[in-house]
């Protein structure tokens, strides 16, 4: 909603209040100011009166005008065609500097002297209004020849754009905003003059039109009939519509739009032709259509849907014809129930207002419009109105000052509360000592309970004037489960960063085609997104890895040579069940290019990826890979097992995928976050007896997986075997399908110093187990 200061001033006295104060006040009462623009007409522009206007002797398109500028008459050559109709105009006198920097000087145009310039609106820094020069009229204020244009407040206006919240349909009008300002500044509203001139010889409307209705509908409608003779739009209306960025295609629409913006009442005009054939009585009919909306019909033709639109061919066309003026109201609740969004019904400019609550005072609206017409044309207004009324009950809210004070948290004064409410248009009566009975005006359908009333008081007092108070709270035992989970995740995030992975966030969406291509599950069709925003994000993600790979691809395109990323976030399964995962990706160089590696760091390998992963998420076990998808390398991948539970996988990126995403060697891992969170650590006693390291080399078949070997050794449950790990593998052609594996064991007792045979026992038990299970031979 855009308002202007001079327009507001027609409804409320703003004398002596600065524009900045108005903006601050609007902000503090909940009408957020988006912008303030002040129009200032340059110096040296004055009101001039054209005394004569003749064709230029040597130029068809130019006119030579004698213009009275108060302190003399100047000859000015003007190129605008509409100058011939003009009487009062804006004259830039010698020395004036226009908005674009042009300085007005004496000049000759095709041999004729010209001492000044007759200006168009845009040359003065105003929005463009029509074609040619701006013709002044008394609507901007009394026209005094020679008066600087700077002195006209209607032109040197301040334009304020206000962002309204959806509950404030009443402020979609100058009147509504003015009413809020009157309450905020505690100033009287001005009386709106809608008294029409007295005519004794008026013809009655009923001889030209009738209104009938199938039943009493929940709408307000009022029709007036006018006979418009030459309508000249007052400049102030033209200007203000331009200031507030509204456009009207003809003068009558401009008047009804202006009236709608002024009062908030929806005003439309219809040509008589759409209601009646010549000399017939117009039969206007109101009925409900199949979509539960109220229509205005004439001779069976649909003219408009109340509060929604007006059908083409109904708008007035030319001057000098009879025109119906209609003011209407339909409640936003009724419109909402009809739910236009699903019915494909075209809506017009006013639907925004009606859906948020237009002004129900149709009487004010229609009289305001008629008064405008009367002032700006030789309009004949027919006597009387055709009306369809609906009796509306005002909401009455009973509330005590004490309750309002408790909601706000400040001690309110009764007189202040009453004064604020009255200025906002509420009726207040005191039912007993403390209780107020508040009658809510019909234009404030958003006010239904005492908290709404508290809000009205709060915004007028100003939240900034409320003293903050600390809330004392009875401490109770808080469930720590979520906090512990949060802290655990935070710790993993910090460790992952320490291990060199960048934390990333990607959208929780993915491209269905891409998921399918790489063999991931997708959300079942009957659970799928109905209205995705783009194709690349047309389904819920079932893995974090595709998004990480896309991010890696972008980074590779930006010439990043080391790409370490991780993400924690939700993924969904085919039943759309949500699960939290963590995924890691490392692509390209395993470390930065630096002095140690002579700028040639090694490319990431399984060993170094697993090492980094361990730094991030702690001890993990790896087992032969049981997962399958298009990202997994069939020969360099493994399951991740934590505390005996399978919770994810780690893999070198499949060559096909590596090519698709344009990456160098890349490793990926994805696992359940839960598996990382619920880790409980139990300490066992530390032995102070000396331990020994022993190496054991065996030869066994190449295809035997180490995790199977370690499982077998674990199963032996050897008392003195503290730990063991592989330290070397070796194969050459002589070994054929075998390979040599060296294990290092740390052997220690918790009870005594070991003797040789104790150590020998451990080694031989392992060896014989390996012989028995895998056909291993001592090397």
The footprint of another protein on residues 458-477 (CB under 8 A) is 458-459, 463-464, 466-471, 473-476
Query: Would the CA dihedral through 603, 605, 611, 614 be positive or negative?
Result: positive
734 near another protein, rule: CB under 8 A: no
Lay out the site mask for another protein across 563-582 (x = CB under 8 A, - = otherwise): xxx-x-xx-x---x-x----
CB of residue 587 vs another protein: minimum separation in angstroms? 11
- Given the complex with another protein, which of 417 and 625 has the nearer CB atom? 417
- Given the complex with another protein, which of 193 and 611 has the nearer CB atom? 611
* In contact, 677 and 645? CB cutoff 8 Å: no
- Given the complex with another protein, which of 195 and 469 has the nearer CB atom? 469
Residue 257 CA to residue 237 CA, distance in Å, equals 10
Beta-carbon neighbour count of residue 539 at 10 Å? 20
Residue 130 CA to residue 34 CA, distance in Å, equals 28
Paired strand residues for 713: none
- Given the complex with another protein, which of 23 and 80 has the nearer CB atom? 23
Residue from 108, 415, 479, 684 in contact with another protein (CB under 8 A): 479
10 Å CB burial of residue 777 (0-12, 13-18, 19+) is: middle
Residue from 60, 101, 391, 525 in contact with another protein (CB under 8 A): 525
503 near another protein, rule: CB under 8 A: yes
CB of residue 591 vs another protein: minimum separation in angstroms? 6
- Given the complex with another protein, which of 138 and 570 has the nearer CB atom? 570
- Given the complex with another protein, which of 448 and 716 has the nearer CB atom? 448
Neighbour-count burial for 258-275, b at 16+ CB within 10 Å, e otherwise: bbbbbbbbbbbbbbbbbb
Window of 85-93, 228-236, 251-259, 549-557 that interacts with another protein by CB under 8 A: 549-557
Task: Find the largest Cα–Cα distance for the chain.
Answer: 133
CB of residue 336 vs another protein: minimum separation in angstroms? 4
CB of residue 446 vs another protein: minimum separation in angstroms? 8
DSSP 90-150: EEE-TT-B-TTSPBP--EEETTEEE-SEEPPTGGGTSPP-SSSSPEE-GGGS---TT-BGG
CB of residue 355 vs another protein: minimum separation in angstroms? 6
* In contact, 368 and 263? CB cutoff 8 Å: yes
Residue 57 CA to residue 54 CA, distance in Å, equals 9
- Given the complex with another protein, which of 337 and 750 has the nearer CB atom? 337
> Look-up: residue for tokens 């075209």?
346
Residues in the chain, total: 779
Residue 211 phi, psi dihedral angles, 5° rounding: -125, 125
CB of residue 478 vs another protein: minimum separation in angstroms? 5
Residues 6+ apart with CB under 8 A from 586: 501, 563, 564, 565, 604, 609, 612, 666, 667
Residues 212/214/216/218 CA torsion (nearest 10 deg): -100
Window of 39-47, 335-343, 621-629, 685-693 that interacts with another protein by CB under 8 A: 335-343
* In contact, 562 and 592? CB cutoff 8 Å: yes
Q: State which of positions 295-324 bind another protein (CB under 8 A).
A: none
* In contact, 574 and 568? CB cutoff 8 Å: no
CB of residue 127 vs another protein: minimum separation in angstroms? 21
- Given the complex with another protein, which of 589 and 637 has the nearer CB atom? 589
CB of residue 603 vs another protein: minimum separation in angstroms? 15
Using alpha carbons, select from 462, 661, 650, 468 the residue that is nearest to residue 555. Answer: 661
506 near another protein, rule: CB under 8 A: yes
530 near another protein, rule: CB under 8 A: yes
Total residues contacting another protein (rule CB under 8 A)?
A: 99
410 near another protein, rule: CB under 8 A: yes
- Given the complex with another protein, which of 79 and 569 has the nearer CB atom? 569
Residue from 50, 65, 269, 551 in contact with another protein (CB under 8 A): 551
Using alpha carbons, select from 623, 673, 675, 630 the residue that is nearest to residue 649. Answer: 623
Q: Treating both helix axes as pointing N-terminal to C-terminal, what angle do 414-423 and 174-185 enclose, rounded to 10 degrees?
A: 160
Q: State which of positions 481-500 bind another protein (CB under 8 A).
A: 482-483, 486, 490, 493-494, 496-500
- Given the complex with another protein, which of 96 and 181 has the nearer CB atom? 181
Q: State which of positions 574-633 bind another protein (CB under 8 A).
A: 576, 578, 591-592, 594-596
Lay out the site mask for another protein across 438-457 (x = CB under 8 A, - = otherwise): -----------x-xx-xx--
Window of 219-227, 291-299, 408-416, 697-705 that interacts with another protein by CB under 8 A: 408-416
Beta-carbon neighbour count of residue 110 at 10 Å? 12
CB of residue 498 vs another protein: minimum separation in angstroms? 6
Tokens of 170: 């009443």
Residue 613 phi, psi dihedral angles, 5° rounding: -60, -40
Q: State which of positions 22-51 bind another protein (CB under 8 A).
A: 27-30, 32-35
* In contact, 232 and 374? CB cutoff 8 Å: no
- Given the complex with another protein, which of 73 and 410 has the nearer CB atom? 410
- Given the complex with another protein, which of 300 and 468 has the nearer CB atom? 468
Counting Cα atoms < 13 Å in the Cβ hemisphere of 168 gives 21
- Give the DSSP letter of residue 12: B
73 near another protein, rule: CB under 8 A: no
CB of residue 488 vs another protein: minimum separation in angstroms? 12
291 near another protein, rule: CB under 8 A: no
Residue from 183, 492, 552, 696 in contact with another protein (CB under 8 A): 552
* In contact, 264 and 176? CB cutoff 8 Å: yes
CB of residue 343 vs another protein: minimum separation in angstroms? 12
């Amino acid at each position: 909603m855009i308002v202007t200061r001079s327009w507001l001033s027609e409804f409320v006295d703003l004398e002596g209040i600065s524009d900045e104060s108005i903006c601050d006040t609007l902000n503090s009462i909940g009408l957020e100011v988006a912008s303030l623009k002040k129009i200032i007409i340059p110096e040296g522009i004055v009101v001039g009166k054209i005394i004569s206007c003749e064709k230029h002797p040597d130029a068809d398109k130019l006119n030579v005008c004698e213009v009275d500028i108060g302190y003399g008459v100047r000859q000015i050559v003007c190129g605008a065609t509409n100058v011939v109709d003009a009487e009062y105009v804006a004259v830039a006198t010698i020395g004036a500097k226009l908005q674009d920097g042009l300085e007005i000087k004496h000049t000759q145009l095709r041999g004729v002297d010209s001492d000044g310039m007759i200006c168009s609106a845009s040359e003065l820094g105003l929005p463009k209004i029509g074609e040619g020069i701006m013709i002044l009229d008394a609507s901007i204020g009394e026209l005094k020849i020679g008066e600087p244009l700077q002195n006209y407040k209607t032109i040197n206006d301040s334009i304020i754009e206000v962002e309204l919240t959806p509950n404030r349909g009443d402020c979609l009008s100058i009147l509504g905003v003015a009413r809020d300002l009157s309450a905020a500044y505690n100033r009287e509203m001005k009386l709106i003059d809608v008294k029409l001139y007295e005519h004794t010889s008026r013809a009655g409307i009923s001889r030209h039109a009738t209104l009938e209705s199938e039943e009493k509908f929940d709408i307000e409608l009022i029709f007036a009939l006018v006979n418009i003779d030459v309508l000249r739009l007052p400049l102030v209306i033209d200007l203000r519509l331009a200031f507030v960025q509204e456009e009207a295609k003809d003068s009558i629409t401009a008047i009804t739009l202006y009236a709608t913006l002024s009062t908030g009442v929806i005003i439309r005009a219809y040509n008589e032709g759409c209601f009646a054939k010549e000399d017939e009585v117009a039969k206007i009919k109101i009925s409900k259509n199949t979509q539960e909306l109220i229509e205005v019909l004439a001779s069976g033709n649909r003219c408009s849907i109340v509060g929604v639109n007006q059908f083409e061919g109904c708008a007035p066309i030319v001057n000098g014809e009879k025109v119906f003026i209609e003011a209407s109201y339909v409640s936003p609740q009724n419109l909402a129930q009809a739910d236009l969004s699903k019915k494909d019904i075209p809506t017009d400019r006013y639907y925004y207002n009606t859906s948020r609550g237009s002004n129900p005072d149709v009487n004010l609206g229609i009289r305001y419009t008629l008064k405008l017409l009367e002032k700006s044309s030789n309009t004949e207004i027919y006597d009387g109105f055709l009306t369809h009324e609906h009796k509306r009950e005002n909401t009455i809210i009973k509330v005590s000052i004490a309750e309002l004070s408790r909601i706000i948290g400040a001690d309110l004064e009764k007189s202040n509360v009453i004064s604020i409410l009255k200025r906002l248009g509420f009726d207040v009566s005191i039912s007993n000592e403390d209780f107020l009975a508040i009658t809510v005006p019909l234009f404030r359908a958003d006010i239904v309970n005492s908290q709404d009333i508290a809000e009205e008081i709060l915004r007028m007092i100003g939240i900034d004037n409320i003293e903050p108070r600390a809330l004392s709270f009875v401490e109770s035992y808080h469930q720590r489960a979520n906090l512990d989970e949060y802290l655990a995740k935070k710790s993993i995030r910090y460790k992952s960063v320490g291990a060199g992975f960048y934390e990333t966030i990607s959208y929780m969406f993915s491209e269905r085609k891409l998921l399918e291509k790489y063999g991931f599950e997708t959300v079942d069709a009957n659970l799928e997104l109905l209205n995705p925003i783009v194709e690349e994000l047309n389904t819920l993600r079932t893995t974090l890895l595709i998004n990480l790979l896309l991010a890696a691809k972008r980074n590779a395109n930006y010439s990043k040579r080391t790409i370490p990323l991780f993400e924690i976030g939700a993924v969904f399964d085919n039943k759309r069940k949500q699960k939290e995962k963590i995924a890691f990706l490392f692509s390209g160089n395993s470390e930065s290019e630096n002095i140690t590696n002579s700028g040639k760091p090694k490319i990431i390998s399984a060993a170094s990826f697993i090492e980094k992963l361990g730094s991030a998420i702690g001890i993990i076990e790896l087992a032969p890979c049981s997962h399958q998808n298009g990202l997994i390398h069939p020969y360099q991948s493994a399951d991740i097992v934590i505390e005996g539970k399978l919770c994810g996988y780690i893999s070198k990126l499949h060559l096909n995928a590596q090519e698709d995403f344009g990456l160098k060697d890349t490793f990926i891992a994805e696992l359940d976050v839960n598996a990382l969170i619920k880790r409980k650590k139990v300490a066992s006693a530390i032995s102070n007896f000396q331990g020994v390291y022993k190496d054991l080399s065996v030869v066994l078949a190449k295809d035997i997986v180490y995790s199977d070997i370690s499982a077998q050794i674990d199963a032996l449950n050897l008392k003195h075997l503290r730990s063991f790990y592989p330290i070397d593998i070796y194969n050459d052609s002589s070994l054929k399908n075998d390979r040599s594996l060296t294990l290092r064991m740390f052997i220690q007792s918790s009870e005594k110093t070991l003797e040789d045979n104790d150590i020998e026992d451990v080694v031989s038990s392992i060896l014989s187990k390996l012989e028995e299970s895998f056909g291993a031979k001592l090397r």
